[in-house]
Structure 1
Amino acid sequence: MTQPLLPCDGHPYLRAASAGIRHHTRAASASPADRVHLDALHAHLTTLHQFLDRLGEAARPPHPASGRHLATAHTRLWQAAAAVHDAFHLLPVADETSAQTECHPERLPEGPPVLTICQRHLAAGHVIRRKTTPSDLNTPLHGHTTPCSQ
């Protein structure tokens, strides 16, 4: 017999992912960023990007204002993922294979495993470019427009 989920238990996987991020934030504060951490963070950001895309699509017809805010969050999350991808390629490589780890989209399927961040980034880029204009992608974050109670 299964017990019904409480309202606070409605999204256990999201809470677990958030807890994992908090744990790694505390653990990583003593060590410098490395490519492994940035790759994992990029994977998390692109997964959130897909999730926000689906939420925005579901929210837009019944609640257009909410859908617009989710679309803005979708764009900003893409900007964060793009910055993490760029930072990944600016970090030094641990071994002597630096020539193999540069981003070459034309040879991604045959590339070394480290290029999975580039494959992931290109896949997310196709989604964002279908739904967003280049000027929106380059627009800085605008002010918060909804009333919040504190």
Structure 2
Amino acid sequence: MTSATPVGDAHPYLRAATAGVRHHTRSLTTAAPSAPQPADRVHLDVLHAHLTALHRLFDQLAETTRPPHPAAGRHLATAHTRLWQATTALHDAFHLLPAANESAAEADCHPERLPEGPPVLTICQRHLAAGHIVRRKTTPSDLNTPLHGHTTTCSQ
């Protein structure tokens, strides 16, 4: 089954984002092939940027798909919610990692300091902006509900 609009034409930034994820995946595996490196704040920040971009894309797709295809729109909305849960976990992991030039007190997320805060808080600004969209469209119970009972049928 092919779509009428190629993915690159409908969402031109998606191809660039995919290339960015591949680049960071390769840099993690080729940096020291014998000893895998743990995640660092730089990689988590870039991954968070990709997830928030995907989050916006899923939001768009769910909104435009729901009217003509309600069941598919609901599945996309569920993926949108699960992606937000992954983005939140990634943001939390970012703040649990130590920074080379930052004390533990400075590593905490302080939204009240965002306009004047250090550049490392751009992940917090991005996360808060995405969180405002999520709160407008998703209930707290939806955000905390596991994916149990969610089934699909594959047809070829």
TM superposition score category, shorter chain reference: 0.7 to 0.9
1:139 to partner: Cα distance: 1.0
Q: Which residue in the other structure is 1:21 paired with?
A: 21
Contact 2:24 / 2:43 at 8 angstroms: preserved in 1?
no
Q: Which runs of 4+ in 1 moved over 4 A?
A: 6-13
Deviations 1:97-129 (A, max 9, x none): 443332011121111110000010011111111
User: 2: CA distance between counterparts of 1:55 and 1:146?
Assistant: 18
Q: Please provide the CA RMSD for this pair.
A: 2.2
Q: Which residue in the other structure is 2:110 paired with?
A: 104
User: 2: CA distance between counterparts of 1:63 and 1:123?
Assistant: 29
Deviations 1:40-84 (A, max 9, x none): 000100011011111111111111111111110110010010000
Which amino acid in structure 1 is aligned with residue 148 of structure 2? H
Please list every run of 5 or more consecutive structure 1 residues that lacks an aligned counterpart in the other structure: 1-5
Contact 1:101 / 1:112 at 8 angstroms: preserved in 2?
no
TM-score (norm. length: structure 1): 0.85
Q: Which of 60, 67, 79 is 2:85 aligned to?
A: 79
Q: What is the aligned length?
A: 146
Aligned pair in 2 of structure 1 residues 32, 136: CA closer, same or farther (>3 Å)? same
Give the 3-state SS of the residue equivalent to 1:110 in structure 2: coil
User: 1: CA distance between counterparts of 2:118 and 2:68?
Assistant: 45
TM-score (norm. length: structure 2): 0.82
Contact 2:55 / 2:80 at 8 angstroms: preserved in 1?
yes
Q: Which residue in the other structure is 2:66 paired with?
A: 60
Q: Flag the structure with more relative contact order, 1 or 2, with Cα contacts below 8 A and sequence separation at least 6.
A: 1
Q: Are positions 1:114 and 2:117 aligned together? A: no
